[in-house]
Every structure is written in structure tokens, then in C-alpha cells.
A and B are shown apart, each in its own frame.
Chain A
Amino acid sequence: MSNNKQVLASELQRHGISRRTFLKFCTSMASVMALSPADAAQMAEKLATIKRQSVIWLSFQECTGCTESITRSHKPSLESLIFDFISLDYHHTLQAASGSAAEAAREQAMHDNKGKYILVVDGSIPLKDGGVYSTIAGMTNLDMLQQVAKDAAAIVAVGTCATFGGLPKASPNPTGAVSVSDIIHDKPIINIPGCPPIPVVMTGVLAHVLTFGIPELDSLKRPKAFFGDSIHDRCYRRPFYDRGQFAKSFDDAGARKGWCLYELGCKGPTTHNACATVKWNDGTSFPIQSGHGCIGCSEPDFWDAGGFYKSISTGIGEPGQWATGALAAGAAAGLASAYLNKSTKSDAEKNHQEVTLEDMGAKK
């Protein structure tokens, strides 16, 4: 399927993309990833000469939102062209082949590019009951992941399901869903979480992998260039937070003035992503700008973090009920203790023996 001899420069030329436009793209990409201007030139040089990179994309327990995100840009962009440029040798949604032909394409790509292909995974992997809850061509997701990961150069986990388990892992996690990192430990893994991830983040990371290799990652294996800051730190509503000006409902005067959405459950302070800077739909907007708090979709277990409309300073669960129960139990134990004290006291009084002066040896 892949024509590995083709280089990106000729491909871009074929699409009528000028060198100037390409350099602009590389500069902005380098800027987004906090690289130096020198790195931008290097990126342009390397990207222009790279050959088609074989990519195998495995979709497990997912909703296809990640694929939708990376493919549904409003106009053909350089990012999408780079995505087009890679040799996507296996992808359920995008490939023409189906059935055994599709699986044959995967095996062929694995064979031809052994040790060199990039494995992209979206969706979580079910482990419960032998992994029967999601199979492809009769093979469990676990088996397929292990088989394909074995000879991959690197793995890119795309979307919160693949990176942290996502929705399938949400309590009570009926399928025993886990992330790619929970299974594969001997390959470099880049996590690009988000539900879905931002398209430019996916292509940006891909560009980095193609030119400079694995980018610098944080403790959750996310590229620091895109996930180094929290939404809150980069949010244009941050000054309202600092001044204590909060919207109390989605349609009150504060909300109309653009005040902070913290009290409405915004998870911006604990969420790391590039939404507030890169934004969505060609840089048009992002959820907070549209009036809704961040739901924290690029963080682990965001479905189980206490509700989208409750502040992060509140408890997960029912602290009020726990306190009421503890109060009742404490009162019951206290009454029991009071009863014991009372009986100890009355026993003491009952057994009290009066001591007279004579007892103490005084003479009459």
C-alpha cells in the first residue's frame, strides 16, 4: 500500500503548497511546541526529505471521535496533508479494504516495515473475561496490541481511552478496560489524551516524531509542548478567578461578562492540554470560550472525578452523608460511654466507705 520512496517535499509540491507556506507551517509548528527558530528550520529541512512513514492504526474500545477529530478539518490544511502523507497501512475507518484483506494489509505492513513502523492506538483494551468484549477478526484487542507492538518503533496512544482507559474504564468498568501503557512496557509510548485530542496536537507530535524523534514527555507520557501547562494557567478568564469573580449559573450576569467558570465545575486548574492556546476548529474557540467549563477530558479518570458540574475543591462522593452517619454513630457511642461513666460513678458512690477520724488513729 505504501510508496516509501516518495518524499514530503514532492508531495506538497503536487498539492500546490509553496515552500514559503511550508516554512511558515514549520515555524508555527515549532512555535506551538516551544522549539527554537533554529529548530523550525531544521524541522523544515527534515520534514521535506522524510519518506513516507508506515503507520498502523489500531482502533479498540473507542467511538471513532479521535479519527473524526484528525480528519475533519474545515479546509485542507498542511496538518491534514502531513497526515495524508504518512502511509496509513491499516485503519478500520479509513481503509478501503475490509475483512481478511484488511488484516492481510496489516500483516504485510508489519512484515515490510519490521521495527520501523509507528503504531497508533485509539480506544482502551478490555481484559475482563479473556478480553472477549472487543475483538477484531476473531482476535482480542489485547492479542492484536501485543502482536503489533512487538515490532513497532514507537507507539502513539491517541485519545483518553487509549492513554488512560477513558469512558470504558469509568466506574464500574464492566469490561476491565485498561490503557496501552498498562500493557506495553518495553516500547516508547507517547500519550496524546483528549476526548478527542486536538488535531494539530496529533499532527504536531507526528511531525516531531518524524523529524526529531520522541518529544519531551511529562510523567503521564504526554508531550510537554502541548500538555505542559494547565488550561487554567493559559485561560483568558484567569484574571476573574484571581479577583474572585465567578459565574454562578450558565446564564447569569457573571456568565455574560465572561467571569470564571470554576464554581460551575470547570476542571481547568487540574487539566493539562493546549485547548486554551491552540483552540479548536482552526483556532476559532474552545469550550471555556463558548461558556462551558473544562471537563478535564485529557486527564486520567476524568469520568470518575466527581461530576462535570462540581468544583474540583468538592469531594468525590457524598461527604454530607458520611458526616451525618458519623455524627449519629458518634452520638450513639457517646451515649454508651456516658452510661458507662454513670455506672462507674454510681458504683464508686455505692462502694464509698466513710473514713472517720478514729479510723485514722485519732484518740477520742
Chain B
Amino acid sequence: MNEVELLNWARGPGLMYATIIMVFGLTLRIFEILSLGRPKELAEIRDSGVRDGWMTILKRSLPEPAHWKLITASYIFHVGLLVVIFFFIPHTQLFRDVFGIFWGGWPNYVIDFFTVLSIAAMLYTLVTRFYDPTRRILSKMSDYFAWVVTFLPLLTGYMAFHRLGMDYTTMLAVHILSVELLMISLPISKLTHAITFSMARYYTGSNNGRKGIHS
């Protein structure tokens, strides 16, 4: 298989498998989670918990002064990822092709800035994970796996754009394959939080609220 065939495979069958696994898996997981419902509340319900649910979504998104460096790095790479994924013009072309919607893209130097920033922020989170004894103990292989599959598309995308490492065609194929790995990982790893984080926070907050613990 030459580099063009690899690219065509990544854009064709590879993308098809990844899309099917990701969409099927995420839909299944949402149905599974929602159908679990709540455990029966044996004590008297003290509040509807709606306000606490929403407040928990909000509060857990706010930076904590005690860990401001880590939180800032996390914010940077999350925002950077969103910008790079949704506003790099070649990516917008894919979304337009799939959804029929085009929301405009940003110039390459802006995307480049966010990419470098995100890569630096992700490296910071990894290094501090090693150096912080508490987080090191808490970290499992699945945490490192999630980091790697998120980092690879950023790195390979940057390398492809700047013609680093391999020739552009091969690097573009590797980049698309790394994105497909990320897509497949979404429903089967902790990366599912990309779509469940607000559900999970609302559930925890409202559950506590029903018990009288307000957020």
C-alpha cells in the first residue's frame, strides 16, 4: 500500500468504520446511562434538585484557585481543541460535507497558535501528572491512553501542516488515522465525558440537592 492508497483508505473505509463505531457507541452509552435512572430515594426528598444540578455544572467548570496552573492548562487545551477541530478550514469542509452547514473558518496562523498552545498545555498536564504524587498514584493506564489518543491528532495535524517528519500525503493519512483512533476511543474510554460531562454533573448535583446538600 503506497501513501496515496493509505490516505484514500483513511478517508474512505477508515472514516466509515470510525464514524459508525463512534456514533453507535455514543448513542448506545447515552441510552444506557439514561435508562439506569435514579436509585430509589428512601429518605424524604427535600428539594427538586434542579437548581443544584445546574449549579454543579457551572461550579465544576470554574477554576479552582488552589490548582490554577493545572486548571488553566486544562482550559487552554480544551478550548484549543475545540477551536482547532471546528475552525480549521479543512475541518470545516468535512463538517459541511457531512452536515451541510458551514460556519466559516479562521486563518491558519490563528489555528497554528491554538495548536501550539494546546500541545504545550497537554504536555504540561502530562508532566505534572508524573511529578504530582497524588495524581501519579491515581492515574491508570486508561488515563494515559486518553491523553495519547487526544494528543496524537494535534501533533500529527501540526506536523502535516508544517511538512514535518514525513511527506504531506503520508502525514495527512497518519493524522486522519489518529483522529479515527480518537473517534473510536470516544465511546469506550473516559473520553466519553466529551458528551456526558454535563449529564454527569447535573446528576450528581441534583442528587445531592434532593438530599438537602446544596451546590
Binds B, one of A23-31, A33-41, A208-216, A325-333: A325-333
Measured between C-beta atoms, what is the minimum distance from B182 to chain A in Å? Answer: 15
Contact A341 B24 (CB under 8 A): no
Question: Of B3-11, B60-68, B134-142, which stretch is located at the interface?
Answer: B3-11
- Expressed in whole angstroms, the Cα–Cα distance for A358 and B196 within the complex equals 44
**Bound CA–CA A270/B169 (angstroms):** 5
Q: Which residues of A contact B45 (CB under 8 A)?
A: none
Set of chain A residues within 8 Å of B37, measured between Cβ atoms: 345
- Whether B168 sits at the interface, judged by CB under 8 Å, is yes
CB–CB B106/A270 < 8 A: no
Q: A244-B108, A326-B27, A330-B25 are in contact. Are A320 and B32 (CB under 8 A)?
A: no
Q: Which of A230, A241, A323 has the most CB of B within 10 A?
A: A323
A304 at the interface (CB under 8 A from B): yes
A322–B21 Cα distance when bound, in Å, is 10
Closest Cβ–Cβ distance, residue A268 to chain B (whole Å): 10
B28 touches A330 (CB 8 A): yes
Contact A334 B91, beta carbon cutoff 8 Å? no
The answer to the question of B48 belonging to the interface, with a C-beta cut-off of 8 Å to chain A, is no
Query: Are A330 and B32 in touch, CB under 8 angstroms?
Result: no
Interface locus among A70-78, A137-145, A287-295, A305-313 = A305-313
Question: A12: CB under 8 A from chain B?
Answer: no
- Bound complex: CA A230 to CA B169 (Å): 10
A262 beta carbon closer than 8 Å to chain B: yes
In the bound complex, CA of A305 to CA of B11 (Å): 9
Contacts of B98 in A (CB 8 A): 315, 319-320, 323
Complex contacts, A323 vs chain B, CB 8 Å:
19-20, 23, 98
Q: Is A253 an interface residue (CB 8 A)?
A: no
Is A49 on the interface with B (CB-CB < 8 A)?
A: no
Assess the B16–A242 pair: CB atoms within 8 A.
no
The answer to whether residues A326 and B108 also contact, given A270-B169, A320-B99 and a CB cut-off of 8 A, is no
List B contacts of A311 (CB < 8 A): 90, 93-94, 97
* Contact of A11 with B by CB under 8 A: no
* Contact A319 B16, beta carbon cutoff 8 Å: yes
Q: Is there an interface contact between B105 and A334, defined as CB atoms closer than 8 Å?
A: no
**Given the complex, which residues of B lie within 8 Å of A174, measured CB to CB?**
none
Q: Which of A246, A313, A333, A341 interacts with B91 by CB under 8 Å?
A: A313
Contact B27 A331 (CB under 8 A): yes
B184 beta carbon closer than 8 Å to chain A? no
**Which residues does chain B contribute within 8 Å of A131, judged by CB atoms?**
none
Min distance, Cβ A283 to any Cβ of chain B, angstroms: 26
CB of A337 within 8 A of CB of B2, answer: no
A242, A314, A330, A345: residue with the most chain B Cβ atoms closer than 10 Å: A330
| A315–B28 CB distance below 8 A | no
Q: How far is the CA of A213 from the CA of B93 in the complex (A)?
A: 44
Also in contact, A330 and B8, with CB within 8 A (given A319-B97, A337-B32): no
Q: Which residues of B contact A337 (CB under 8 A)?
A: 28, 31-32, 35
Q: How far is the CB of B164 from chain A (nearest CB, A)?
A: 14
The A interface, classified by DSSP as helix, strand, loop or mixed, is helix
| Any B CB within 8 A of the CB of A97 | no
Of the residues B89, B99, B107, contact of A262 by C-beta under 8 Å: B89
* CB-based nearest A residue for B4: A300
In the assembly, what is the distance between CA of A317 and CA of B14, in Å? 11
What residues on B are CB-neighbors of A304 within 8 Å?
8
Q: For residue B5, which residues in chain A have a CB less than 8 angstroms away from its CB?
A: 300-301
Question: How far does the alpha carbon of A241 sit from the alpha carbon of B112 in the complex, in Å?
Answer: 13
Asked if B32 and A315 make an inter-chain contact with CB atoms under 8 angstroms apart, the answer reads no
A-chain residues with CB within 8 Å of residue B21 when the two chains form the complex: 326
Inter-chain CA distance A219–B168, complex, in Å, is: 13
Query: How far, in whole Å, are A299 and B4 apart by their CA atoms in the complex?
Result: 7
CB distance from B111 to the nearest CB of A (A): 9
Closest B residue, CB atoms, query A243: B107
Contact at A315–B97, with CB atoms within 8 Å? yes
Please state if B89 and A326 are interface contacts (CB–CB under 8 Å). Answer: no
Name the residue of chain A whose CB is nearest to the CB of B33: A334
B22: chain A residues within 8 A (beta carbon): 326
**Contact yes or no, A322 B4, CB < 8 A:** no
A333 x B24 contact (CB < 8 A): yes
In the complex, what residue of chain B is closest to A337 when comparing beta carbons? B32
Whole-angstrom distance between the alpha carbons of A305 and B19 in the complex? 19
Closest to B87 in A: A244
Q: In whole Å, how far is B199's beta carbon from the nearest beta carbon of chain A? A: 14
Instruction: Please provide the chain B residues from 36 to 51 with a CB less than 8 Å away from any CB of chain A in the complex.
Output: 36-37
Query: What residue in chain A is nearest B170 (Cβ atoms)?
Result: A219
Extra inter-chain contacts (5) besides given A242-B107, A262-B89, A315-B16, CB under 8 Å: A301-B5, A301-B8, A312-B172, A320-B97, A322-B20
- Can you offer 12 A-B residue contacts whose CB atoms are under 8 A? A242-B109, A263-B93, A301-B5, A314-B93, A314-B94, A330-B25, A330-B28, A331-B27, A337-B32, A338-B34, A341-B35, A345-B37
